[in-house]
Structure 1
Amino acid sequence: MVDEPAVQLGRNLTYGLLDSIGRAIVTGQFEDQVFPTEAELAKQHGVSRSVTREAVKMLTAKGLLSARPRQGTTVQPTSSWNLFDTDVLRWMLERQLSVDLLRQFNELRVAVEPEAAALAARVAGEDDIKRIDDGLRRMQAAERGLDDPLEADIAFHVSVLRASKNPFYIQLRDVVSTALRTSIRFTNRIKGRTADVAEHAKVRDAIASRDPGAARVAMRTIIGDVLVLIEDRLPSTD
């Protein structure tokens, strides 16, 4: 028990360094330059070599870095990054110009969430539908200023993924939650209002009525509207 505060402090230092270096990599601060050695990183950030080594190891696992004998540590191209890692996705979404990434993320959503809703309409249990109901009620409360609109919207979409009972869809919940925090803020600023509760209610009703086709269409409509808003904000390629 005596060592617990020191252990916790070590973890905080490691994750703080992880966040600092990860964000720097994703925002391009190491482009066209040699990535620092662990000793240099430790000195720059005022932390121990063991903290630095652990942070570099975690960034390597996320696909941002590669460490090889006699070649040192190098920054990996974006194609090697683990985009399903919530830290990596958060850093990418925090970049100044992330509208294109939001479009790509919502293209993933439109491929996954309507099918998850359709599956939920076939297999969801009463507890699953109750969680969807709770998410919808939170969205309704948020419209009256009694709940957080962002958290309520996320809770609804995550509850639908869970109701699909498909472990692959369910494991996307953290990615969806992380990216929705940026996506919803972005689209709400454009629309000047929060999510359309009536459209979300259609998803809930279709799932509760065991109508996979209606659930699929209702969820696709929600995400399709988001994609239209994002496409309108992308620069023209003409």
Structure 2
Amino acid sequence: MIPPHGLSLTQSLLERLGQSIVMGDYDRAPFPTEAEIGEVNGTSRTVTREAIKMLTAKGLLSARPRLGTKVEPVGHWNLLDPQVLRWLIKRPLTPTIILEFNYVRLAFEPVAARLAARQIGEAGDRTALLKIRQSLDMMILNHADRALSIRHDIEFHGNILEASGNPFYRQLRPLIDTALTLAIGMTSHAREPSESHNDHLNVFRAIEAGDGAGAEILMRSLITKAIAVIIEES
């Protein structure tokens, strides 16, 4: 196996096996043995074992004496791991999982919006405000290009997390990005773009005005509407 540029053999094998697991390749088939993995991928026992150890640490695999290695259910995976989140985007997920992701958004993003409004209002952080505004403008400007508009929609929410000034919220960005990527695929067709744009614009205006309470309420409303669509589509 020749690894992609910048990846070690172990990382390359980790990517290959991790994506296969998350995509469901082993949902109805046993996970291969170390010897089988090494033979198919041309990797040494050391590389193979290290990749399996890393997947086990991420909760995707478990190994038991005399029972071998098996794939764990989604509920056991480390869903805060950036690699696992990246792999998940490519997997057809049930509406239940997508809904659970968005309940996580509901728990964090409204408060992040409140903190961003306070941070920008008190510190006068125009750079953070400009980044939020630019992502909003690009989302609206590119409304005809669904993929590009979604990308800037995700950036808008991520920039608010960054603007909150809370380092824990900043580290939640991969999780929120994944939740948004999955949710928007289900919800974007159910609402007029102008309605969604107005909701995002109102959140921005509250943050710009330093209105923390208003920003929190508006962000909660925005996410609640998305959750309602997901429930309806389920």
Shorter-chain TM-score category?
A: 0.7 to 0.9
Q: Which residue does 2:133 correspond to in 1?
A: 133
Equivalent pair of 2:129/2:208 in contact (CA under 8 Å):
yes
Q: Deviations over 1:115-174 (max 9, x none)?
A: 100111111322211111111111222136599201110111001000111111110111
Partner Cα distance (1:32, 1:167) in 2: 41
Structure 1 unaligned spans of 5+? 1-5
Q: CA deviation at 1:64?
A: 1.1
Q: CA deviation at 1:37?
A: 2.0
Corresponding residue pairs, total:
229
Q: Does 1:37 align with 2:26?
A: no
Q: Deviations over 1:7-51 (max 9, x none)?
A: 765826544533442244345544576532211112233444344
- SS of 2:142's equivalent in the other structure is helix
Partner Cα distance (2:130, 2:74) in 1: 40
Bigger shift: residues 65-74 or 114-123: 65-74
Q: Under a length normalisation based on structure 2, what TM-score does the superposition of the two structures give?
A: 0.83
Paired AA for residue 55 in structure 2: L
- SS of 2:218's equivalent in the other structure is helix
Paired AA for residue 205 in structure 1: R
Q: Under a length normalisation based on structure 1, what TM-score does the superposition of the two structures give?
A: 0.82
Q: CA deviation at 1:53?
A: 2.7
Which structure 2 residues correspond to residues 1-238 of structure 1 after superposition, within 5 A?
A: 11=7, 14-30=10-26, 35-67=31-63, 72-124=68-120, 125-143=125-143, 148-191=148-191, 193=193, 196-234=196-234
Per the alignment, do residues 96 and 219 of structure 1 end up closer, same or farther by CA in structure 2, a change over 3 Å counting?
same
Equivalent pair of 1:93/1:101 in contact (CA under 8 Å):
no
Equivalent pair of 1:25/1:64 in contact (CA under 8 Å):
yes
Structure 2 unaligned spans of 5+? none
Partner Cα distance (1:216, 1:188) in 2: 22
Query: CA RMSD for the aligned pairs?
Result: 2.9
Partner Cα distance (2:225, 2:20) in 1: 33
